Amino acid sequence: MENLALIDSFSEFKDDKLIDRVTLMAILEDVFRNALKKKFGSDDNFDIIINPDKGDMEIWRRRVIVADDDLDLENEEITLTDARKIEPDFEIGEEVSEEVKLIDLGRRAILALRQNLISKIHEHDNTNLYKQFKDLIGEIYTAEVHHVRPRVVILVDDEGNEIILPKEKQIPSDFFRKGDNVRGIIESVELKGNKPQIIMSRTSEKFLEKLFEQEIPEVFDGLIMVKSVVRIPGEKAKVAVDSYDDRIDPVGACVGMKGSRIHGIVRELGNENIDVINYTSNIQLYITRALSPAKVSSIKINEETKRAEVFLKLEEVSKAIGRGGHNIKLAGQLTGYELDVIREGNVAEEEDDVELTEFSDEIEAWVIEEFAKIGLDTARSILKQDVNDLVRRTDLEEETILDVMRILKDEFNA
């Protein structure tokens, strides 16, 4: 039969690696059967034979011969006169098979067929792509930056698949240029219409967990287990690790000599500060480890409310809370307990202490807030600190800190 433009399109798809021969033939048959249903009302009496290798196909229509005076002809019936035009010795009741030429369907139908075929192929590709990336959810994936927009970075992998990295899934310090290779985890895959939308994340805890698995052989081999991960992306993270083998130090193995093993992970995450701690089922010990580098004096736990009072010496409070309150926040998330810091110190001195908010007429509110972020909310707690250390741990300048200390000293010297 005629090798029409529709048949030529077979070669465009038959070598596509996502479509095997059986699937291609099924798609083609489905497309043609839909066209036959539109033209004849039914496709039950049609046989379709497809040969995609040769770019050829045949459509055969089967009908039963009826008398010429049968005026109410069905799709499955043909009059005796018309049947004998095909073969002169046909009789009533016999079945006639007649080839249907594509050209008989009409030019518009042929154009619609081709468009429908292309649509079905794309739909099949998208379904395969959706399934492929659905299986990759939670896994690390690398793609190249194709386009940078204010709220999203468009990535393209080696197969030409588009992957989206939204702004909120990027680490705050991330900066990408066209052509950069980007690593993240496949966080979700959604069908938008018929097209899959693949979302990558670099802020997920799972990304950090998978980086440990990728960069540390003992984690990859299952000798060390990552029990829990909590993060403030780009700022700080805490990772609890454990090992069934008492001969293996899980923290030491993850960090490496002088931090050699974890350095690559820190660099990948924009210099995110990562604390690696030994997991334990002993909740008091777990909280103590989670609050590192602070040294905890004692802990009082309420199992029912999932709260814990953590007693610390005055000089340890700021370490426990951490810059911006990050350390205590992550420790609480890691252990599953709400942590309340209780200061230990000289009773007489504490009674003589003054809340920093009492100085709001002399010290600006935002300055007081900066000190509170690192756990310094009283006059004496600030006066005990080293000025250079405060400059490093806050966003305050040395001159501002010295002014505050002068105001506080005047209070106690008055």
Question: pLDDT band at residue 5, thresholds of 50, 70 and 90?
Answer: very low
pLDDT value at residue 22: 62
Tell me which residue of 6, 97, 18 sits closest to 52, measured CA to CA: 6
For residue 412, give every residue at least 6 positions away whose Cβ sits within 8 Å of its Cβ, in sequence order, or none.
352, 379, 383
pLDDT per residue as tens digits for the range 39-96: 778 888 888 877 766 656 788 888 888 888 876 777 788 888 888 888 888 888 888 8
C-alpha span between 157 and 214 (Å, rounded): 20
CATH number of 136-201: 2.40.50.140
**One fold for both 5-131 and 347-413?**
no
User: How many CB atoms within 10 Å of residue 105?
Assistant: 20
Whole-structure pTM value: 0.61
Domain 347-413, CATH number (from 3.30.930, 1.10.150, 2.30.30, 3.20.20) = 1.10.150
Spell out the domain ranges in the chain: 5-131, 136-201, 347-413
pLDDT value at residue 255: 92
C-alpha span between 326 and 319 (Å, rounded): 10
CATH number of 5-131: 3.30.1480
